[in-house]
Chain A
C-alpha cells in the first residue's frame, strides 16, 4: 500500500519534471525560430548555440571554482591552489578530469533510472535559464518578452531534481537532504518572485534588456536597496550557499541529496550548483546593478560584456565572502527567516513600489521607504540578540572564580649552595 503510494508520487514527480524540461525546450525552440514552423535549420542553430553556451558556462564554472578557492584561501590566511598551472588556474580542470574518470557508483538500494536522471533534471533548468540572460544589448541567445518569468519558472524546476536525487538514492541522509531542499527552495522562491515582480513593475517590462535599459541613469540598487538585499539573501538560499547551505550541510546530512553520487554524475550537480550561483550573480547584476550599462553613455559591446561580467563576479565574490564568514542556520531558523522576515519584507517592497508608481511620487521616496523598512528587521531582530549575548559575556567576567596565587616559599637548599 505504502510502497505503491510512494511509486505513484515518484512517477508524478518524474512526469512533472519531464514536462517542465519539455516545456523549457519548446519555449527555447520557439524563442529561436519562428513559432509556427520549427525547421531542421532552426534545430541545428539551436544545437550549435547550446554547445557554445555550454562551453562558455563550463569555463565560467571553472573560473568560479578557482576564484572561490583562491578567495577563501586568502580570507583564511592560506594561499589556495598554487600547483597546477599558473596561480593554480588549472586546478579546477584537474579536479574535473579526476571526477570524470572516477567510477560512477550507484548504491544497491537506489532506483537506478531515477538516480541517474536526477542530475540531468537539476542541470538542464539551470542551464536553460542562460538562453534568455543577456551579456550585452545584442549578446543574447534570445531576448524573451517574459525573460524574468522564464528565469523564475526554470529555477523552480531544479527543485524536482534535488528531491528526486534524495528520494532515489535509497539513503536516509539523502532523503533528509532532499526534503530539506524542497522545503527550502520552495520557501525562498516566493521572495525572489516578489522582488523580480517589483523590478518588472519599475521597468514596466519583463524583458531583461528592457530592465537594463531602464537603469541607464540610476541602477535599481540605489532606488530599491531593500529589494536587492532580499534578493541577495533569497538567492543565497536558492543556490544552497552559506549560511543557507542546509540541504547539502556537510556536518549534518553529509552532502544531502548528493551524498550517494560519485564521479561524473556528482560533477553534473557540482556544475549545476556553480551555474546557478553565477545565474544569481548575473540576474542580480541585471536587475539591480544596471547590467552592462553605466551612467556615462553607451559602451562598445566588448566593454559592455566585460562590465556585465565584472558586476556578476562582484556579486558572486560577495557570496563567497559570506561563505568565509558565517556559520550555517538551522532548518527551522531558515524557515522562520524566510516566512516571517523575507516574505513580508518582499511584499512590503511590492506594495511600496506600487504605491509610488500609482500616485506618481518622486523617485527618491522609494529608497527612503526601502531603507525605513530595512531598519525594522535589523534593529529589531539581529542587534537585540547580539546585545543580549554581549551582556551575557560581561556577566561571565563577573561570575568568574578568582584563584589567588600563594606566595612561594624560599628554597632552602639553593640559598645554601
Chain B
C-alpha cells in the first residue's frame, strides 16, 4: 500500500520530531529546541526563545538612568557586574562623565571576578551536560568564594547594583585586597582541579573533539562573539580591540582555538579563567587610593543624542545602544546580548550531529536565557 507523500522507492519511515525544552535539564533554563530526528541524528533544529521575556528594554524607558542599572543586573544573571558596566559606560559616554581611576580599577577587578565566576559555572554545567557530575561541585565551590567576596563588597550575591553612572557605589572594604588575593589563590587551585579531572579525559575528548565544528568565516557571518568565536580561531576580544576602562594598562593573553569544535570552545574558557585571575591581580597591584565617584553633580539628565557602547562579557560582545531625548529617562535602550547572537550559530553547528552532541553543542555556546529573552 502506498502512503500519501511517499514513492515506492522510499522507505516508509518518517523523521521524528522531538521537542527539547523549555523544561529539559540540558537547555540551561527555558530554551526550546524542536529537533527533527532521523534515528539518533539531528536533521534539523529550530530554536524557540521568549519563555523568559520580561520586556526589560521597554521597562528601561520608564525608569530613570540610575534605576536602569538594576534592570541590567537581571539580563545575564551570572555576570551581573559586566552588564552594569556596559550600561553605565553607555550613560557616561552620553553624559560625557569622567570616571575616577580608582573606580575604574574597582570596576575592572569586579568584572573580571565575575567573568571568572561565570566561567566556573560554565565548566561545571558543561561537564553535567556531558554526564560528568563532579566538576560542577568544584566549580560551585570556587564560585561560592567569589560570591562571598561580592557580598562583602556590594552587599548582594547576584543583583549588585554596585556600578553606578560616574563610578561605583562606594569604596571597597579595607580588607578587599588581601582577601581577594587569598580567594584567587584558592580559585586557581580549583580551576586546576577541574582541568586535571576533565580536560584530557579520554571520554571527554571523545565527546567534544570534532563535535559542533564551525569555521571562522561561518562563525563571523553568524555574529558569534566571545569565547565561542575565539574557539574558531578568531582573536576578537573587545578588551583587546577596543580597550575600555583601564584595560590598556593591563597585560593579558587572548587564548585562541583552531578547530572551532566544542573542545576548543571549552578550552578557551578554561584558559580565560587563568587570564582573569591574572587581570584581577594586576588591578589589585596597580590600584591607588582616590575617589570612587565622579565629582560632577548633575548626572541625571543627559543631553539629546544616542550612543553605542560595547564591552567584553563572559559570553561575548555585549552592546548597549542608548537614545536620550533630554529627559531623565532613556528614550530607547537596545541591548545586543551576546547569548542571543551566538544562538544563530546553533543550526550550522548542530545539523547532522547526534542528539547527545546537540546537548554538548548547546552547552558549549554557554547561553543565559535571561539575556537571550530580555
Q: Which of B233, B263, B354 contacts A389 (CB 8 A)?
A: B263
Q: Are B101 and A411 in contact (CB under 8 A)?
A: yes
A115 to chain B, nearest CB (A): 20
Q: Are B239 and A396 in contact (CB under 8 A)?
A: no
**Contact digits for A360-374, partner B, Cβ 8 Å, 1 yes 0 no:** 000000000000000
Q: Are A400 and B131 in contact (CB under 8 A)?
A: no
- Write out the residue numbers on chain B whose beta carbons fall within 8 Å of the beta carbon of A403: 239-240, 250-254
Interface-located stretch among B65-73, B162-170, B204-212: B204-212
- Write out the residue numbers on chain B whose beta carbons fall within 8 Å of the beta carbon of A77: 137-138, 141
Q: How far is the CA of A246 from the CA of B354 in the complex (A)?
A: 13
Q: Are B250 and A405 in contact (CB under 8 A)?
A: yes
Q: How far is the CA of A253 from the CA of B263 in the complex (A)?
A: 22
- Residues 167 to 214 of chain B near chain A (Cβ within 8 Å): 197-207, 209
Q: Are A393 and B131 in contact (CB under 8 A)?
A: no
Q: Are A396 and B267 in contact (CB under 8 A)?
A: yes
Q: Are B357 and A172 in contact (CB under 8 A)?
A: no
- Write out the residue numbers on chain A whose beta carbons fall within 8 Å of the beta carbon of B357: 330
Interface-located stretch among B56-64, B75-83, B122-130, B299-307: B122-130
- Closest chain A residue to B19, Cβ basis: A172
- Residues 316 to 374 of chain A near chain B (Cβ within 8 Å): 323-333
- Residues 383 to 417 of chain A near chain B (Cβ within 8 Å): 385-386, 389-390, 392-393, 395-396, 399-408, 411, 414
Q: Are A327 and B252 in contact (CB under 8 A)?
A: no
Q: Are A401 and B240 in contact (CB under 8 A)?
A: yes
Q: Is A252 part of the contact surface with B, judged by Cβ < 8 Å? A: yes
Q: How far is the CA of A328 from the CA of B250 in the complex (A)?
A: 40
The total of Cβ contacts below 8 Å across the A-B interface reads 155
- Write out the residue numbers on chain A whose beta carbons fall within 8 Å of the beta carbon of B12: 2
- Closest chain A residue to B251, Cβ basis: A405
Q: Are A400 and B249 in contact (CB under 8 A)?
A: no
- Residues 1 to 40 of chain B near chain A (Cβ within 8 Å): 1, 12, 16, 18-19, 24-26, 40
Q: Are B248 and A401 in contact (CB under 8 A)?
A: no
- Write out the residue numbers on chain A whose beta carbons fall within 8 Å of the beta carbon of B101: 411
- Residues 123 to 173 of chain B near chain A (Cβ within 8 Å): 127-134, 137-138, 141
Q: Is B258 part of the contact surface with A, judged by Cβ < 8 Å? A: yes
Q: Are B206 and A329 in contact (CB under 8 A)?
A: yes
Q: Are B25 and A254 in contact (CB under 8 A)?
A: yes
Q: Which of A249, A386, A389, A392 contacts B356 (CB 8 A)?
A: A249
Q: How far is the CA of A172 from the CA of B34 in the complex (A)?
A: 13
A396-B200 contact in complex given A251-B131, A331-B40, C-beta closer than 8 Å:
no
- Write out the residue numbers on chain A whose beta carbons fall within 8 Å of the beta carbon of B253: 400-403
Q: Is B227 part of the contact surface with A, judged by Cβ < 8 Å? A: no
B298 to chain A, nearest CB (A): 21
Q: How far is the CA of A172 from the CA of B253 in the complex (A)?
A: 46
Q: How far is the CA of A392 from the CA of B228 in the complex (A)?
A: 17
A252-B26 contact in complex given A327-B201, A330-B206, A401-B240, C-beta closer than 8 Å:
yes
Q: Are A333 and B235 in contact (CB under 8 A)?
A: no
**Which one of A2, A78, A392, A404 has the greatest number of beta carbons of chain B within 10 Å?**
A392
Q: Are B199 and A393 in contact (CB under 8 A)?
A: yes
Q: Are B16 and A172 in contact (CB under 8 A)?
A: yes
- Write out the residue numbers on chain A whose beta carbons fall within 8 Å of the beta carbon of B257: 396, 399
Q: Is B256 part of the contact surface with A, judged by Cβ < 8 Å? A: yes
- Closest chain B residue to A251, Cβ basis: B26
Q: Is A72 part of the contact surface with B, judged by Cβ < 8 Å? A: yes
Q: Which of B16, B239, B354 contacts A332 (CB 8 A)?
A: B354
- Write out the residue numbers on chain A whose beta carbons fall within 8 Å of the beta carbon of B40: 176, 331-332
**Which one of B26, B198, B205, B290 has the greatest number of beta carbons of chain A within 10 Å?**
B205
A7 to chain B, nearest CB (A): 17
Q: Is A376 part of the contact surface with B, judged by Cβ < 8 Å? A: no
A408-B131 contact in complex given A176-B355, A326-B203, A382-B202, C-beta closer than 8 Å:
no
Q: How far is the CA of A194 from the CA of B268 in the complex (A)?
A: 44
- Write out the residue numbers on chain B whose beta carbons fall within 8 Å of the beta carbon of A331: 40, 354, 356
B280 to chain A, nearest CB (A): 14
A251 to chain B, nearest CB (A): 4
What is the total number of residues of chain A having a CB less than 8 Å from a CB of chain B? 52
- Closest chain A residue to B199, Cβ basis: A393
**Which one of B25, B203, B235, B282 has the greatest number of beta carbons of chain A within 10 Å?**
B203
Q: Which of A78, A242, A328, A389 contacts B205 (CB 8 A)?
A: A389
Q: Is B281 part of the contact surface with A, judged by Cβ < 8 Å? A: no
Q: Are B256 and A399 in contact (CB under 8 A)?
A: yes
Q: Is B255 part of the contact surface with A, judged by Cβ < 8 Å? A: yes
Q: Is B341 part of the contact surface with A, judged by Cβ < 8 Å? A: no
- Write out the residue numbers on chain B whose beta carbons fall within 8 Å of the beta carbon of A407: 249
Q: Are A330 and B207 in contact (CB under 8 A)?
A: yes
Q: Are B131 and A75 in contact (CB under 8 A)?
A: no
- Write out the residue numbers on chain B whose beta carbons fall within 8 Å of the beta carbon of A401: 235, 237, 240, 253-254, 256
- Write out the residue numbers on chain A whose beta carbons fall within 8 Å of the beta carbon of B359: 251-252
Q: Is A113 part of the contact surface with B, judged by Cβ < 8 Å? A: no
Q: How far is the CA of A253 from the CA of B203 in the complex (A)?
A: 19
**Contact digits for B330-374, partner A, Cβ 8 Å, 1 yes 0 no:** 000000000000000000000000111101000000000000000
Q: Is B286 part of the contact surface with A, judged by Cβ < 8 Å? A: yes
- Write out the residue numbers on chain A whose beta carbons fall within 8 Å of the beta carbon of B249: 405-408
- Closest chain A residue to B246, Cβ basis: A408
Q: Are B18 and A243 in contact (CB under 8 A)?
A: no
Q: Is A250 part of the contact surface with B, judged by Cβ < 8 Å? A: yes
Q: Which of B204, B256, B258, B286 contacts A327 (CB 8 A)?
A: B204
Q: Are A76 and B250 in contact (CB under 8 A)?
A: no
- Closest chain B residue to A408, Cβ basis: B249
- Write out the residue numbers on chain A whose beta carbons fall within 8 Å of the beta carbon of B199: 389, 393
Q: Which of B128, B129, B201, B209 contacts A326 (CB 8 A)?
A: B201
- Write out the residue numbers on chain B whose beta carbons fall within 8 Å of the beta carbon of A408: 249, 286
Q: Is A245 part of the contact surface with B, judged by Cβ < 8 Å? A: yes
A175 to chain B, nearest CB (A): 8
Q: How far is the CA of A2 from the CA of B127 in the complex (A)?
A: 41
Q: Is A44 part of the contact surface with B, judged by Cβ < 8 Å? A: no
- Residues 77 to 135 of chain B near chain A (Cβ within 8 Å): 101, 127-134
- Residues 204 to 261 of chain A near chain B (Cβ within 8 Å): 242-243, 245-246, 249-254
Q: Which of A2, A246, A251, A389 contacts B25 (CB 8 A)?
A: A251
- Closest chain B residue to A331, Cβ basis: B40
Q: How far is the CA of A408 from the CA of B209 in the complex (A)?
A: 42
Q: Please provide the 8 A-B residue pairs with the shortest distance between their CB atoms, ordered closest to farther.
A: A328-B131, A405-B251, A76-B137, A327-B132, A251-B26, A327-B130, A400-B253, A401-B254
Which residues of B come within 8 Å of A, CB atoms? Answer: 1, 12, 16, 18-19, 24-26, 40, 101, 127-134, 137-138, 141, 197-207, 209, 233, 235, 237, 239-240, 248-259, 263, 267-268, 271, 282, 286, 288, 290, 354-357, 359
Q: List 21 A-B contacts (CB under 8 A).
A: A75-B134, A172-B19, A242-B133, A324-B133, A327-B204, A327-B207, A328-B207, A329-B206, A330-B206, A330-B207, A330-B356, A392-B258, A395-B258, A399-B257, A401-B240, A401-B256, A402-B252, A402-B253, A405-B248, A405-B250, A411-B290
Additional A-B contacts beyond A243-B203, A249-B356, A389-B209 (6; CB < 8 A): A252-B356, A252-B359, A328-B207, A330-B206, A389-B200, A405-B251
